[in-house]
Chain A
Amino acid sequence: MLETEELRKVYKGTAAVDSVNLFLEKGESVGLLGPNGAGKSTTISMIASLIAPSAGDVRLNGKSVLKHPNEIRKVLGIVPQEIALYPELTAYENLKFFGRIYGLKGEALSRRVQEVLELLGLEDRQKDLVKTYSGGMKRRINIGAALLHEPEILIMDEPTVGIDPQSRSYILDTVRKLNEEKGMTVLYTSHYMEEVERLCDRVYIMDHGKVIASGTKDELKSILSGEEAILVEMDRDYPELVKELDADEAILQTIETDKGLKLIVPKGSRLLGKIFQAAERHGAQISNITVQVPTLEDVFLHLTGRKLRD
């Protein structure tokens, strides 16, 4: 349905997006995962025909979006990262305006606005000014403004940044409902791994402007299928202990975390005794130790050596 071909964007000699190829099938929910500055927003801006690529193309049903930007604009709903609303207007007025620019009129427009408000759970607050809303409510209206014309493709650029867990959960449920019940194709960018794991069928992982891995969640996790992660929680940092574990050939990767260490080790390796002994040598107090199967976060760490929110 939608695909990019060798998409590239260069700013002042630096490639913000470099040869990105991705595709979305109709009705799919696809995640675009990566840390800040990975090139996610630039990629979706090019897909949405907001900015022109330096090279490459975007195709919608085989047609070039570069040559025919109106083709995608008619079927696209975009939820920007920032709250792109008019705070001095009510939620109803905001939605009505965005509906009107998509050609909705009269009774059809009013009915559609009410449907969207109902979907977002904001019917009771529709007459309130947006500037009086909480962050979560603003985010919901921000999504609603992209839904009025019932788009076939919904692109969401980190739509849950800076909101409370309840609002986040409500938004994720809404996106899932749109995808599963309305058959909307969703491209969801985030640096929250759990959101992508919860919502998306397939995932593209981006870093430094490039797609470094892609596939279904299981396919990506299988990158680390022969490995497992050991989380070691300690009372403080022990650099000498890290150095010793890092030098151990049996440990594939040693990563310092907020609470202690994360060690990527071959599955089934019996290393717990070795870890306790090393900790004792360096006087480290281990408060907890957990062995877990790899998550997408671990896959990302494995691929980039960085945490998603670095």
Chain B
Amino acid sequence: MKSIYLHQWQRFRRAPMLVVSFFLLTVVFVFTLAGFQSDDKFTVLALVKEGSSDQAAEEWIDRLNESEGMFFDLREEEEVREMMRDGRRNFALAVGDSDYRMVVAAEDANLMRVESYTAQVFREEFRLMQAEEAGGENIREDIQSSLEDPVLTVTTETIEGAEGTFVYDNQIQTLFGMTLFFSIYTMIFSLMNVTEEKRTGTWDRLIVSPLKKSQMYIGHFLYCFTVGCAQIVVIFLLFKYGLGFDLGGNFPAILIVVGCYAFAIVALGTLLMGLVKSSQQLQAVIPIVATAMAMLGGAFWPIEIVTNNIVLFLSQGMPILYALDALKSIAIYGRGLADLAQPLSILIIFGVVCMGVGVNLMERRG
């Protein structure tokens, strides 16, 4: 087993392009989609609602821009509509004298967050206005000074992670989603060494050696597992320490999730190898499976925003869903391993079943 495992690394040193290219692709995608936003506010385009005054809209925008996480950019209606037509923006905020409307061209993961924040600001402002009408003109200043120098401080803790709670972090979503997605390619393409060996005859050479078949398979699986884990962990560390992504404080738990996920993907690759007849077929199947799994499993967008019951049902069969769930639980909600028993168990069971069936199918074919 050790000789097979080390031999795979020797082959990797001679032909590293496959793994390196998927590593670089992950870095480029994560950096492009999430890396630039590390210090910037999320920009929301805004326009003046038809029949409303510019001045009132500007006042609302100033109020909305008190947020630390978002920047509302008021522009001409025509300009905003053109940007939406071109696909540069999926939605915008139309601000009226005393109301607002979301103008949506396409689904967007940030839409819910923006709408929720806007509604909150409008609600607060109306309450203040009502209070001003009832209690005098100085109420706003009184509230402001009370906020700056409170009589007592109340610390509020949300029960994060409770049913229905959804915290969206674009950086974490992109980093986890893209890294797990591209690692599928790395692991399953690396596993193709087995089919290649069978094609070229070196596999038969190994069979007639004193090595056991189980040692041969484990040597290959262990290599794919290691290379997959290494890719994921190096990328996580790069973005954590290089670009300041907040992965939470429990990196050992992240490593365990990565290990379970890599095991499940190597097993899935084994099943695919058992199902197809040649490495050419496998090459065609891998992108289909990887992309479908990433789309259904929530690698490209948070699964929490998906409402279609069929998609949600199908997503239950995707190992990437459980890995993302576990990783986000650690990074966003600060949960520990004890809370991750369910997704991790599912990943391990998925892996054991796929590997057992896959190896059997391959052996049956001879």
Contacts and interface: CB of A to CB of B under 8 A. Distances in A.
Given A74-B210, A84-B200, A98 B11 contact: no
A276 interface: no
B284 interface: no
B210 A145 contact: no
Contacts of B7: 97, 100
B210 A73 contact: yes
Contacts of B10: 89, 93, 97
B200 A82 contact: yes
Contacts of A98: 205, 209
B124 interface: no
Contact of B11 (A70, A89, A101, A146): A89
A80 B209 CA distance: 13
A97 B205 contact: no
A145 B208 contact: no
Interface in A135-177: 145-146
A273 interface: no
Contacts of A86: 11, 202
Contact of A145 (B3, B11, B205): B205
A102 B209 contact: yes
B202 A84 contact: yes
A101 B200 contact: no
A51 interface: yes
Given A101-B211, A103-B210, A84 B204 contact: yes
Contact of B201 (A73, A80, A88): A80
Contacts of A89: 10-11, 14
A252 B11 CA distance: 59
Contacts of A145: 205
Contacts of B11: 86, 88-89
Contacts of A103: 210
A48 B208 contact: yes
Contacts, number: 59
Contact of A76 (B15, B206, B208, B366): B208
Nearest to B207: A50
Given A84-B200, A86-B11, A88-B14, A50 B208 contact: yes
Interface in A37-56: 45, 48-51
A15 interface: no
Contacts of A49: 208
For the residues of A in contact with B, the DSSP-based class is: loop
B13 to A, nearest CB: 9
Interface string A81-116: 111111011000100011011110000000000000
A78 B208 contact: yes
Contacts of A73: 208-210
A125 B211 CA distance: 29
Interface in B169-217: 200-202, 204-211
A101 B209 contact: yes
Contacts of A93: 10
Most buried by B among A50, A101, A103, A145: A101
B202 A85 contact: yes
A102 B210 contact: yes
B156 to A, nearest CB: 60
Contacts of B14: 88-89, 129
A76 B208 CA distance: 8
A82 B196 CA distance: 13
B204 A50 contact: yes
Contact of B15 (A82, A88, A97, A102): A88
A51 B205 CA distance: 13
Contact of B3 (A70, A78, A97): A97
Contacts of A50: 204, 207-208
Contacts of B4: 101
A98 B204 CA distance: 12
A283 to B, nearest CB: 53
A253 to B, nearest CB: 39
Contacts of A101: 3-4, 206, 209-211
Contacts of B200: 82-85
Nearest to A105: B3
B205 A84 contact: yes
Interface string B1-20: 00110010011001100000
Interface string A56-89: 0000000000000010011010101111111011
11 contacts: A48-B208, A50-B204, A80-B205, A83-B201, A84-B205, A86-B11, A97-B10, A100-B3, A101-B206, A101-B211, A102-B210
Closest 4 CB pairs between A and B? A84-B201, A82-B201, A88-B14, A100-B3
